[in-house]
């Protein structure tokens, strides 16, 4: 795979529940982490004393984080509403030349910061809140 442009890693939000996804405006950096817990089934009979893991048994999770500047009042307001109301709307994460991960996420943290001589910035973190679908690009 050739090098990819970081700005093409997008986090999109279903603003109204109608499956019309909009990019969360003002993002400068995004990160996606996929995880799967392992289930250790090692016993005294494990060959050579090596650890054995039970396939397809652990809990799968996804974490998304992003940071940026305030640019679009609609997506900023929607993100705040989702956080304060504890909602789990559908998001899409588009990873160039890899695929689209889509499903419900909860915004787990929102941080705001700024300096006296710079722009106001924010950081947000999200955790998967149900089954995610993956579509290869």
pLDDT in tens, 40-66: 999 999 999 999 999 999 999 999 998
* Domain count within the chain: 1
| CATH number, domain containing residue 78 | 4.10.410
| 22 pLDDT above the threshold of 90 | no
Q: Please compute the mean of the pLDDT values over residues 80-109 and round it to a whole number.
A: 92
Q: Please compute the mean of the pLDDT values over residues 117-123 and round it to a whole number.
A: 88
Q: Which pLDDT score, from 0 to 100, does residue 97 have?
A: 86
3-state secondary structure of 47: helix
**Cα–Cα distance measured from residue 114 to residue 101, given in angstroms and rounded to the nearest whole number:** 31
| 1 pLDDT above the threshold of 80 | no
The residues that bridge with 122 in the sheet, in sequence order, are 68, 112
Name the pairing type of β-strands 90-95 and 10-14. Answer: antiparallel
**pLDDT classification of 27: cutoffs 50, 70, 90:** confident
Query: Domain for residue 17, yes or no?
Result: yes
Q: Which pLDDT score, from 0 to 100, does residue 19 have?
A: 87
Query: Domain for residue 95, yes or no?
Result: yes
pTM recorded for the entire structure: 0.84
Q: Please compute the mean of the pLDDT values over residues 85-90 and round it to a whole number.
A: 94
Query: Domain for residue 44, yes or no?
Result: yes
| 75 pLDDT above the threshold of 80 | no
**Cα–Cα distance measured from residue 34 to residue 32, given in angstroms and rounded to the nearest whole number:** 7
Q: Which pLDDT score, from 0 to 100, does residue 23 have?
A: 84
**Cα–Cα distance measured from residue 130 to residue 59, given in angstroms and rounded to the nearest whole number:** 11
HSE, side-chain direction, 13 A CA sphere, residue 43: 3
Query: Domain for residue 53, yes or no?
Result: yes
Which structural domain range is residue 48 located in? 6-136
Average pLDDT, the chain: 89
**Cα–Cα distance measured from residue 126 to residue 109, given in angstroms and rounded to the nearest whole number:** 7
Query: Domain for residue 1, yes or no?
Result: no
Q: Which pLDDT score, from 0 to 100, does residue 45 have?
A: 95
């Amino acid at each position: 795979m050739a090098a990819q442009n970081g700005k093409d890693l997008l986090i999109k939000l279903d603003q109204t529940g109608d499956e019309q996804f909009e990019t969360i405006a003002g993002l400068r950096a995004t990160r996606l982490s996929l995880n799967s817990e392992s289930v250790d089934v090692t016993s005294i009979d494990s060959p050579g004393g090596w650890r054995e893991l039970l396939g397809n048994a652990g809990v799968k999770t996804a974490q998304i984080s992003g940071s940026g500047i305030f640019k679009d009042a609609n997506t900023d307001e929607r993100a705040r509403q989702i956080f304060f109301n504890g909602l789990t709307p559908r998001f899409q994460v588009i990873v160039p030349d890899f695929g689209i991960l889509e499903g419900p996420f909860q915004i787990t943290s929102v941080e705001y910061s700024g300096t006296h001589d710079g722009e106001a910035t924010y950081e947000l973190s999200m955790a998967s809140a149900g089954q995610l679908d993956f579509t290869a690009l």
